[in-house]
Structure 1
Amino acid sequence: MGNISLVTIIIIAANALISYKGFNDYTFFERYKFNVGSITRGEQFRMFSSGFLHADMQHLLFNMLTLFFFADRVIFYVGNFNFIVIYIASLVLGSLLSLYFHKNEYHYSAVGASGAVTGILYSAILLDPNMSLYLFFIPIPIPAYIFGIGYLLYSIYGMKNRVGNIGHDAHFGGAIGGFVITLIMMPSLFQTDLLMVILLAIPILILFVMHKTGKL
């Protein structure tokens, strides 16, 4: 996996440049952010462009650091082109899930690469579930699949209870994108890591059941 790939550098640079433009140009930021009312009036491009804007420097740094740590692991397994497909699909699916859950909230707005980045994170976990993650507040390594499942369960909790000013639905939609697209690209995972595929699918099934039963 070695040095950071050119594709990762380009995506990080695009996020940094576009976000910086948004930090300093309110009109630009408002024009390209995710906004339900604007999207329903025909500005679907916002579902993509909003993924390159960020609310502030901390938001940008957190997303890009996460991408930095996991992007090349995905590239190692699927290649540059397929990585880009996973990234874009996760971004769009994150926006679609946000639009679905907020379709009647015409003033709802959001920005950030979180959907795309979460898709890459979940893809990396699916491809290499035995890797360990270190979190700032936990001094011991955590198996990646435990973190992935826990993160999505927390996202469901956040969606249900509107926890914080965070697009939990975009995170979840992105994870679904990373999960599904990776399995389409590498169906051999159903043979080599079927148990892990099932475990990582559990939060997605929980979300589906909760939504169908009116609990979300």
Structure 2
Amino acid sequence: MPSLTRGPKNARKQVDDRRVEFERRVLRAVEELLADGTPYTEIAVQKIAAASGSARSTFYRYFPDKSQLLIRMAELATADLFDAAETWWRADHDDMAGVVRAIGSMIAGFREHRYLLLALSEVAAYDRDVGRYWRGRVASFVDVVRTRLKTDRAAGRIDSSVDPIATAVVLTAMVERSITAAFAANSVVTDEALAESLGRAIWLVVYGDAPEA
């Protein structure tokens, strides 16, 4: 019996591996095409397929349109970026250095995929599917922050006047817009300075008026 199940499982794994490899090729191709400043909307599907070394028919089998392509590419590009911040929000908070490190990891992830993420921010403003995806992704992060703030307030670790929902929205928007603004323009702010400033701002908003231990 084991031999009967091994084949299908191995076949599924091979299919999954091929999909992952294909998607990462497409991600690299899209980022290279965006790097010269060409807007995402002006990059033809045929050009993306050719740059990724795939047939147009294969491309459409995975991505029915460019909106779905951008959404999937964003999922790949932001996986580690969000994970670093979410890990900090779920971990013990000892000092400001921890949040600075988490924000630093987010900034590093954004820099690696900056062309795609800037395109995502632009397209999300007018494309319904992309906008819905991105708002949902940000909302899930807001919920992580809100849950932690609610728990810390109940435990007396932060001031009782802190509103978990409003504060979670403010902090998330601050980080998202600050990083996007820094990368969208020819900013003179270094990644390290940006991480320090954002980390300090988050720490002070949450714990700056915390009750004395």
Would the TM-score normalized by the shorter structure come out above 0.5?
no
User: Which has the larger strand fraction?
Assistant: 1
Q: Which has the larger radius of gyration?
A: 2
Q: TM-score, normalised by structure 2?
A: 0.33
Q: TM-score, normalised by structure 1?
A: 0.33
User: Which has the larger helix fraction?
Assistant: 2
